[in-house]
Chain A
Amino acid sequence: MRLRTWGYFFRQAFLSLWRNAWMSVAASTSVAVTLFILGAFILLVLNINFIALALQSNLEIAVFLRVDTPRSQALALKQQMESLPGVKEVELVPKEQGLKILAQQLGEEELLEATGGVNPLPDYLRVRVEDPARIGEVAAILQNLPAVEKVNYGQAVVERLLAVLRWVRYLGVGIIGMLAVASLMLLMITIRLAVYARRREINIMKYVGATDWFIRWPFLLEGLFIGLIGGGIAAGVLLWGYTSLTYKIKLSLFFLPLLEDNTVLHYTALGLVGGGACVGAVGSLLAIHRFLKV
């Protein structure tokens, strides 16, 4: 294709956009809305991943000793655990401190009196592991040490979190698929209108021997442009919305770890623009396909 021909293609594409201005605006907006929801969902999934990861790295194993374990044995156990492979650090929480923590949590200052002057709690050890993913293995080894009553590492919570994450992902893929199809259909309808308005012209082009690609390009560019605008709007709103939302969340829910990696954010935005362009191009090609069979 010659440069002059490309000029013709672009002129035709913009002319058609202008002639069907309202339809073009409607299609761009629809693409923008669907892509925005898509982007919001992607960021949601990424954040849940991020939070899950943060929680995992904070995980620790609570090793409760038998109530009658002497302090000297507890200290020996601490040393033994520290030498185990996979263990990062071990902290001994003596029963006196444990009772204080419990009293604080319950808001009951005179807890000791309530239990008749006897501390019912055992000593326990807080074990941090090097690799959160292998926390189960380490917990199993600790369980078999002498004087260990019970080992707890929040297994149920971790597994529930992973299950939720899995479902959010499935749901995400489903919603993303539906939204993609919806925006594709919208674009197809728009381009088909434009094609329909120019069907006589296309017919004549076919008769005088224009190649199919010569006829396709202006419509392809038109769809591409609608998709790009839609994707651009979606990306812009998403970037702005996410930044201001994370700022507000940080003020009120400061303990919640949020993804603030700009690279990820920018890739998501770029992905939306690219996705819009793809939807536009594919939608155009599908829309014009029937009209080229002459």
Chain B
Amino acid sequence: MIQFFNVTKIYKGDIYALKDITVKIDKGEFVFLVGPSGAGKTTFIRLLFREELPTKGQILIAGRSITRLRSKEIPFLRRNIGVVFQDFRLLPDRTVYENVAFALQVLEVPPKEIKARVEEVLAQVGLSGRAHLFPHQLSGGEQQRTAIARAIVNRPRILVADEPTGNLDPATSREIISLLLDINRLGTTVIMATHAWDIVNSLKKRVIALDKGRLVRDDKEGVYGYEA
């Protein structure tokens, strides 16, 4: 599903964010991306949904090179990849329902279908009763659920989460992780960058560890391996 071939990313001023990364992630996998701050986790994610281009190397998604995409094709790549961030990135002047529906509106989905799909996905993340509240009326966990609902409402095949539990307390973090696991069980490939070593250790999922831009470890049923 996702293949990195010798991917190197150098930012301005000779800063190596990623060095010679080669990795393969299969369809339906759940992968933790771990490592200390500045290890290159966020760059890895940005490369995935083509916010950045690699300096060297090749990235394939579903067999297609995404480095050779024309800028007109980028939106269509992104429709297959949902993204969730640490800071939620919800629109503060819109309700939960509107925030999720927005993702379908901009794709010109018919209103009837929008309504059905938003209601379905809100039920899936457990926010059916909170649809008409604004983000500031929600807890952190609920805000992140809204963001996840927005990311998956278009039924993408890949869900990418950049430290989705970074702003949440441990109990809420576990809820969010179990939601991501549920989504994964329904067939979506999930890639999650995280600092939450306890969660990583307890789940025994695949762990890709980065340090100073290098791939230092890739375990099938891994542990965090660092004291966070």
Residues of A within 8 A of B (CB): 1-2, 4-5, 8, 200-201, 203-212, 214-215, 294
Contacts and interface: CB of A to CB of B under 8 A. Distances in A.
Contacts of A209: 75-79, 106-107, 154
The binding surface of chain A is classed by DSSP as helix
Interface of B: 49, 51, 71-72, 75-79, 83, 89, 91, 102-103, 105-108, 110-111, 150-151, 154
B78 A203 contact: no
Contact of B91 (A201, A207, A210): A201
Contacts of A207: 49, 78, 83, 89
B49 A2 contact: no
A103 B185 CA distance: 113
B78 A8 contact: no
B71 A208 contact: no
Given A210-B107, A294-B51, A204 B78 contact: no
Contacts of A1: 108
Contacts of A201: 91
A143 B33 CA distance: 99
B102 A204 contact: yes
Contact of A208 (B51, B108, B111, B150): B150
Contacts of A2: 108
A209 B105 CA distance: 11
Given A206-B78, A208-B154, A200 B91 contact: yes
18 contacts: A4-B111, A200-B91, A204-B102, A204-B103, A206-B75, A208-B102, A208-B106, A208-B107, A208-B150, A208-B154, A209-B76, A209-B106, A209-B154, A210-B75, A210-B107, A211-B72, A212-B72, A294-B51
Contacts of B111: 4
B45 to A, nearest CB: 11
B108 A212 contact: no
A7 to B, nearest CB: 11
Given A207-B83, A214-B108, A215-B106, 5 more contacts: A4-B111, A8-B105, A200-B89, A200-B91, A208-B106
